[in-house]
Amino acid sequence: MRLKQIKLSGFKSFVDSTNVPFPQQMTAVVGPNGCGKSNVIDAVRWVLGESSAKNLRGDAMTDVIFNGSSQRKPVSQASVELVFENTEGRLAGGMADRSEISIKRIVTRDAQSNYFLNGSKCRRRDITDIFLGTGLGPRSYAIIEQGMISRLIESRPQELRVFIEEAAGISKYKERRRETENRIKHTRENLDRLADVREELGKNIDKLKRQANAAQRYKELKAQERKLKAELTTIKWLQYNNRFTALEQQLAQQQTELDKYQSQELGDQRVLLELKQQAQDGRQVLEKVQSNFYQLGSSISRLEQQILHQRQQQQTLTAQLQQAQHTLAQAEEFIATEQAQQAELQQQLAEDEPQQALLDEQLAELTEQLQQLEDEQYQQQQAFNQWQQQHFRLQQQQQQQQLQQQNQLSQLAQLRQQEQQLQQEQAALALAPLQQRVAELETELSYGATQVQQSTALHEQAQQAVQQQEQLNRELDAAQLQAKSELLLLQREQQQLQQQQQQKDGEQQQLLRQLQLKPGWAAAVALVLGQLQHAAVTEQLQATAQSMVSRNSCAAAPGSLAEVIVSGVYPESFNQIFCVADINAAQQRLSQLAAGHSVITTSGYWLGSNWCLQAGAQQQDNYLLREERLVQLQQELAAAEQQVQQLSGQYAAQQQALQQAQQQQQQALQQLQHAERTQQQQLTAKLLAQQELQQAEKLAQKLVTEQQQLQLKQAQLEESTEQLAMALEDSAEQLLQHEGAQQQLHSQSGNQQQQLQQLRAQFEQKRTQQQQLLMQQKVAEQQLSALQQSLQRARMQQQQLQEQAGTLTAKLQQDDEPELLLQEQLQQALLEREEAEQQMIAQQDQLAAVEQQIRELEQGQHGILQLLNKKRAELAELRLDAEGYRVRANNMLELLREQQANMKDVLAELAPDAEETVWQQQLDKTVDAVGRLGPINLAAIEEYEQQAERKQYLDAQNDDLTAAMDTLETAIRKIDKETRQKFKDTFEQVNDGLKTLFPKVFGGGSAYLALTEDDLLETGVTIMARPPGKKNSTIHLLSGGEKALTALSLVFSIFRLNPAPFCMLDEVDAPLDDANVGRFCNLVREMSETVQFIYISHNKIAMEMAAQLMGVTMQEPGVSRVVAVDVDDAVKMAAAS
C-alpha cells in the first residue's frame, strides 16, 4: 500500500486545484522558506482526521481555507483528497479487495466538515478505523513534522508508549476496550437504575394488590347497588303508574259533568251574542249619525272663520295702503335733501387741493434735515454703546469676582463646619461595643449549633421509631388480612359442606345421619358400609328392602369396628371387623383372625384372609367424612375467629403506638425546626453585627480620608480667595477710569439729542396738518359716495312704493263679493245640523234598551259560570295530580334508562310482594358498605396486571443485563491479555531494532528502551541513549543533532517492525551536519525498499538522494504551485544532450 497522489483545492496556500503525484518511493519536496511545503504534510494529517487546529498551525479549523491574498479573493471551502494504491490488500475489512482507495475531506466557512470514502459520505470514525494498526493516523509516527523529533525524544513515558502501541497494532484493541468499558459503565448504571425501579415496583405491586382486591369488592357492591336502584326505581314506577291510572278514571267522570254545564251555558251565550250584535249595529248607526253631526258643526265653524278672516284681510289691506302712501311721501323728501348735501361736498373738495400741495413741499425739506441729524446721532450712539458695553463687561467681571469670592468664603466656612462635624462623628464612633456584640453572637451561634445537632439526633431517633412502628403496623395488617382470608375460606368451605349435606339428605331417616363416630374412622366406616350408607333405619327387616338395617343390635365386640360407633345403630358385621393402627399391624393380625373376620385401618385399608380393599376417591365424598370435616371446621373456625380478634386487638394497640410515635416525631421535628430557625436568626444577627462593624470601620476610615481632603480643599480655597481679592482691586480702578470717559460721551450725545427732538417736533406738526387735511378730504369723498348710494336706494324705494299702492287698491275692490256667498252657506249648514241632532237622540234611546237586555242576561249567566269555574278548578286539580304522577312515572323510566336497565328484565326478576321500604333499606346498607371501603382506585386491577407484567419484564431485563455484564467483563479480560502479549512482543522487537540501528547511525554507542512499571497495560516507555565516548545519565543531556538521530533511530526501528504505508519527514535533517546527513540518507535509502518516503529538506545531500523532486514555488504572493521533476528522467535528458 502506498500514497499515489494528493489533490488539493482551497487548502491554505493551494488555492487552485493542485494534483501532487508520488510515483517514486523517495520524493523530496523542496522550495524556499514560506512557499507552502509544510502545507502538503498538514493536508495529509488533516484528511486522516486531525481535529485540533493548533496541530495544523491555526486557531480554528476554518483557518485551513484560503483566506485571500493581495490579488485573490477568499474561497468558501477547502478540500483535500488522498489516493492510495492497495494492490497488496494491506487494509483489512471491506477495503481489502479495493485496488485503489480515495479518502477526501471538505470544510466550509461555516465550520461544516464532511468526510468521503471512495466518493461516499462517511464519518470521521470510519476513516480512523480503516487505518487502525497500520501506523497511519493524524498523530502517528508515520508523519514527523518540524519540532516533532525533539518532542518525541523528550516526550513523557506515557506519550512514548503510544508509538509502541501503534507499532504493535493494539490501538484498535484500546479502542475496543474503551468502548467495552463504556458499555460496562452504562450497563452498571442501567442495572442500578433497574434495581431501584424493581424495588419501587415491588412496593407498588403490593400496594396495588390490596387496592385491586378492594376495587373488586367495590365493583361487586356497585353492581348490587345498581341492581337494587333499578328494582327500587321499578317499584316506584309501579306505584306512580297505578295512581296515574286511577286519577285518569276520575278525570273522565268530572269531564262528563263539566260538558253538561257547558252545553247549558252555550245556549245562553247564543242569545247574548245576538243581543250584542244588535247593540253593535246600533252603535255603528249612532257613530254615523254622530259623525255627520260633528262634521256639520265643523263646517259651520269653518264658514264663520272664513267670514271673519275675510273682514280682517280687508282691514289689513287698507292699513297697508295708507302706510305705503306715507312712506312714498317721505322718500321724495329724503331725495331732495340728499341732492343738496352732495353739491356742498363737491365744492369743499375743490377748495382743499392747493393747501395739500404746500404741506407736501414743507414735509420734504424737514425730512431731509431730520435724516442728516439722525445719522449724526446714530454715530454718537454707536460710540456710546461701545463704551457702555465695555463698562458693563467691567461691572460684570467685578460682580463675578465678588460672587466667586463670596462663594469661596462660604465654601471655606462649610469646609470648616464639615471638619468639625467629622471630628464629632469620629468621636461618636464606638467600635468596641460592636466587636463585643459580634463575639457574644458567635458564642450564641455555637450554642445554637449544639441545639440543632441535639434536635437533629432526637428527630432521627423519632423517625426511626415511626418507621419501626409503621413496619410493625404493616406486618400486623398483613397478618390480620391473612387471618381474615383464612377465616373466610373456612366459612365458605363450611357453607359448601353444609349445602352438600342438605342436598344429599333424603326424606327418610338414613343410617348415616344417626351415626356418631370416633374421630378419624369416617373413611373406614364408609368403606365397610358401602351401599348401606343410604339405607334407612326401620324396626323390622322386610324381605323386599335388602338395604334396610334392623334396629336390633348386639353389644360391640372388643377391638372391633363396632366400638368406633359412639351412638346409633350399625350392622352386626361390624363386630367381625377389628381395628388396627396401620397396614403393618393389619398384616400381623391377619394370621390370628377367625374365619369370616377381617381388619381395617384408619387410613381406609380393609384386609381379609385373601383379599384387600382400599377407600378410593368415591369414598372421599360421603356423609361421614363431611360430618367429620364439619366438626373440624367448627374447631378451626373458632380458633380462626379467636386469632382475628387477637390480631385486631394487637392492630388497635399498634395503631395507638404508631400515633404516639408520630406525635413524638412531629414534636421532634418542631423542636428541630425551632432550633434551626433560632440558629438562622442568630446567624442573621451575627452577619448583621459583622456588617455593622465593617460599616463602622469603613466609616471611620472614610471620615479620616474626608478630613484630610477637607483640609486640603481649605488650603486651596484660602489661596484662591487671596488671588480674587487682588483681582477685584484691579477691576475697580479700571471701572473708575471708564466711567469718566463715559460721562463725556454722554454730554455730547445730549446736545445732539436736543436738536434732533426740536426738528422732529416741527416735522410731526407739519405731518399732522397734512394728515388732518387728507382725513378731511377722505371723509368728504366717503360722504359723497354714501350720498350717491343713498339717493339711488331712495329712488328705487319710491318706485316700489308706487307699485305696492296700486296693487293694494285693486285687492280692496275684489274682496267685497265672497263675504255674501259665505253667509248663505252658513245658514244652510245650521239647518242640517239641527236635523242630525234629532236623529242622534233617537238612536241613543234604541241602543240603551238593547244594552239593558244584555245586562239582565249576563246577570242570569253569572250563577252558571260560577258552577262551571268550580268544576273546571276541580278538573284542573285532578289533571295536575295525574300529570304529577305521570311525570314521576316518566322520571322513573328516564332514571331506568340512565341506569341502563331494562324494565321488562327488572319486572321479570322482581318479586310480586316487593316493598319500597325493604328495598330502600337494602340499598342503604349496600351504599354504606361501599362508603366503608373508603377511597377506591378502580384502575388498580388493570394497573396491578400491568405492573406485574412489567415486573416480570424487568426481572428478565435484569437477568439479561447481568449476563451482558459477565460477557463484557470476559471480553475485557481477553482484550487485556492480548494487549499485554502484543505490547510485550512489540516492545522487545522495537528495543532490539533500536539497539541495532543506533550504533549504525552514530558509528558506535548504545541505546535501549525501558519500562517504567511492571503492569504492561499502564506502564510508560523511556529511552536511554549513549553516543560513542559519552556516559550521560539522561537523554536531555544530548545535543540537538544527537537527539534527532536518536529519535530517527527509534522511528525507523518501529518502521522495520510495522512499516506504515508511507513516511513523511518535515526538515528532520535540519539539525544534522553533513556526516550525519549522509548516515541519515543511507538509512532512508535502505528502508525505501519497503516504505515510501516523502520528505521536506533544504539539504543538498538529501535532495541528491531523492528519486523525484517536488518543487513548491510562490511566484504569485500567497499562492503555492507545484513543479515535479523526475531525477532519473532528468539525468537521461542531460546525458542525451
406 or 891, which is more confident? 891
Report if pTM > 0.75: no
Residue 294 has a pLDDT of 75
In a domain, 583, yes or no: yes
Of residues 19, 15, 64, 28, the one with CA closest to residue 43: 64
Amino acid at 202: G
Tell me the mean pLDDT in the region 1023-1046.
Answer: 79
Look at residue 75 and tell me whether its pLDDT is greater than 80: yes
Give the mean model confidence (pLDDT) for residues 913-922.
Answer: 83
How many CA atoms are closer than 13 Å to the CA of 415, on its beta-carbon side? Answer: 19
- Report how far residue 499's alpha carbon sits from residue 491's, in angstroms, rounded to the nearest whole number: 12
- CATH number for the domain spanning 6: value is 3.40.50.300
E-strand spans in 32-109? 77-85, 100-108
**Residues placed in the known binding site for ATP:** 32-39
Distance between CA atoms of 926 and 944, rounded to whole angstroms? Answer: 26
Q: Is the pLDDT of residue 451 over 60?
A: yes
Would you state the pLDDT for residue 542?
A: 40
Asked if residues 598 and 608 have their Cβ atoms less than 8 Å apart, the reply is yes
- What's the rounded Cα separation, in Å, for the pair 837 and 833? 6
Last residue of a domain, one of 606, 628, 650: 628
Q: Where in the sequence is the domain holding 52, given as residue range(s)?
A: 1-142+1060-1137
Helix or strand holding residue 1136 (H, E): helix 1127-1136
Whether residue 573 is predicted with pLDDT greater than 90 in this model: the reply is: no
In a domain, 1002, yes or no: no
Which residue matches cell numbers 347497588? 225
Mean predicted confidence (pLDDT) in 449-463: 75
State residue 731's pLDDT score.
Answer: 66
User: Residue 1100's closest CA among 1077, 1123, 1080?
Assistant: 1077
pLDDT confidence band for 227 (50 / 70 / 90): confident
In whole angstroms, what is the distance from residue 14 CA to residue 78 CA?
Answer: 9
Tell me which residue of 933, 950, 944 sits closest to 212, measured CA to CA. Answer: 944
Asked if residue 426 has pLDDT above 80, the reply is no
Q: What is the pLDDT of residue 86?
A: 81
Across the range 726-751, mean pLDDT stands at 67
Strands of 133-238, DSSP E? 143-144
- Final residue in a domain of this structure, among 597, 628, 659: 628
The binding site consists of: 32-39
The count of other CB atoms within 10 Å of the CB of residue 336 is 10
Domain boundary among 566, 601, 628: 628
535 in a structural domain: yes
Residue 418 lies in a domain: no
Identity of residue 534: H
Q: Is the pLDDT of residue 351 over 80?
A: no
Q: Do the beta carbons of residue 784 and residue 346 sit within 8 Å?
A: yes
Give 1080-1096 as a 3 state SS string.
Answer: HHHHHHHHCCCCEEEEE
Confidence of residue 543 (pLDDT cuts 50, 70, 90): very low
CB 648 within 8 A of CB 640: no
Rounded Cα distance, 866 and 133, in Å? 123
Q: What is the mean pLDDT of residues 148-172?
A: 77
1087 inside domain: yes
Length of the chain: 1137
What is the C-alpha to C-alpha distance for residues 993 and 1007, in angstroms, rounded to an integer? 10
* Most confident of the ranges 414-418, 915-919, 1096-1100: 1096-1100
Which range among 99-113, 307-321, 328-342 has the greatest average pLDDT? 99-113
What is the count of structural domains for the chain? 2
- Quick check: helix, strand or coil at residue 575? helix
Work out the burial of residue 43: count CB atoms within 10 Å of its CB; fewer than 13 is exposed, 13-18 middle, 19 or more buried: buried
Contact 177, 975 (CB under 8 A): yes
* Higher per-residue pLDDT: 77 or 255: 77
The Cα 156–Cα 137 span in angstroms is 20
Handedness of CA 226, 232, 235, 241 (dihedral sign): negative
Q: What are phi and psi of 435, to 5 degrees?
A: -65, -40
Tens digits of per-residue pLDDT, 749-789?
666 667 667 776 776 776 777 667 677 767 767 766 776 77
pLDDT (mean) for 802-810? 70
Q: Which grid coordinates belong to 403?
A: 460672587
Residue 87 in domain:
yes
Task: Enter the C-alpha cell of residue 988.
Answer: 522487545
Collapsed DSSP state (helix, strand, coil) of residue 65: strand
Answer whether 1059's CB lies under 8 Å from 135's CB. yes
- DSSP letters for 767-827: HHHHHHHHHHHHHHHHHHHHHHHHHHHHHHHHHHHHHHHHHHHHHHHHTTSHHHHHHHHHH
Q: Which three cell numbers stand for residue 1048?
A: 530517527
Q: CA nearest 959: which of 190, 90, 131? A: 190
The DSSP output letter for 106 is E
How deeply is 456 buried, as exposed, middle or buried, from its count of CB atoms within 10 A (0-12, 13-18, 19+)?
middle
Residue with cell 506515557: 158
pLDDT exceeds cutoff 90 at 647: no
* Confidence (pLDDT) at 1059: 77
Task: Tell whether the torsion through CA atoms of 138, 140, 142 and 148 is positive or negative.
Answer: positive
Q: Are 416 and 732 in contact (CB under 8 A)?
A: no
pLDDT digits 0-9 by tens, 819-839: 677 777 777 777 877 787 787
| Angle subtended by helix axes 818-898 and 171-428, to nearest 10 | 120
Percent of the chain at pLDDT > 70 equals: 77
pLDDT at 485: 60
889 in a structural domain: no
Q: What pLDDT does residue 8 have?
A: 94
What's the mean pLDDT in 234-247? 84
Q: Which residues contact 305 (CB under 8 A, 6 or more apart)?
A: none
With beta carbons less than 8 A apart as the criterion, state whether 219 and 935 touch: no
pLDDT number for residue 81: 95
CA distance readout (Å), 120 to 5, 59, 123, 127: 19, 29, 10, 12
Q: Helix 1074-1087 and helix 1040-1057: axis angle, to 10°?
A: 10
Contact call for residues 144 and 1065 (beta carbons, < 8 A): yes
Q: How far apart are CA 303 and CA 886, in angstroms?
A: 77
Residue 67 has pLDDT above 80, yes or no: yes
pLDDT number for residue 78? 94
Here the cell at position 1050 is 527509534
- Report whether 910 contacts 234 (CB < 8 A): yes
Single out the residue of 896, 903, 909 nearest to residue 226, CA to CA: 896
Position 608 confidence tier, pLDDT thresholds 50, 70, 90: confident
Q: For residue 109, what are the contacts with CB-CB under 8 A and spacing of at least 6?
A: 62, 65, 76, 77
Query: Given this model, what pLDDT does residue 842 score?
Result: 81
Residue 47 within a domain: yes
Q: Are 24 and 52 in contact (CB under 8 A)?
A: no
